[in-house]
Amino acid sequence: MKLLKPILFSLAVFVFANARSQVVYVTEWKSEANLKIYVTDSQADADVVVYKSEWKSEAGDEGIWYFTEWKSEADKVIYFTEWRSEADLTICYTTYKSEAGKRK
């Protein structure tokens, strides 16, 4: 049972980081989310560096996310947590598209 949590975490990171389309919906309910996300200011501490795209068509590349207002069009439903220990994935935002992508 102790191995189940790290295995599930690794699987979630792998699936999310390698997904072709990265259209995400932010929920206010932890129980509704596919992933719990913690935001850090340091790229060195992040699992993924995220560039927020204004265009849904750009969301196919790794680390380029399009935030939708509609849950039905999202590939992933995420919840932002205040606690790193509770997160499935740690991200850092960037203003440069070229910096986006998986770091660890």
Q: Per-domain residue ranges for the chain?
A: 4-102
Q: What is the DSSP letter of 17?
A: H
Per-residue pLDDT tens over the stretch 17-36: 444 568 999 999 999 999 99
How far apart, in whole angstroms, are the C-alpha atoms of residue 81 and residue 85? 9
pLDDT at 103: 76
Q: Please give the full DSSP string across 42-62, using - where no structure is assigned.
A: -GGG-SEEEEEES-GGGTTST
Determine the 3-state secondary structure of 38 from DSSP.
Answer: strand
Vertex 71 angle, CA 63 and 56, to 5°: 40
pLDDT tens, 61-104? Answer: 789 999 999 999 999 999 999 999 999 999 999 999 999 988 76
CA separation, residue 63 to residues 8, 30, 47, 48, 55 (Å):
21, 22, 10, 6, 14
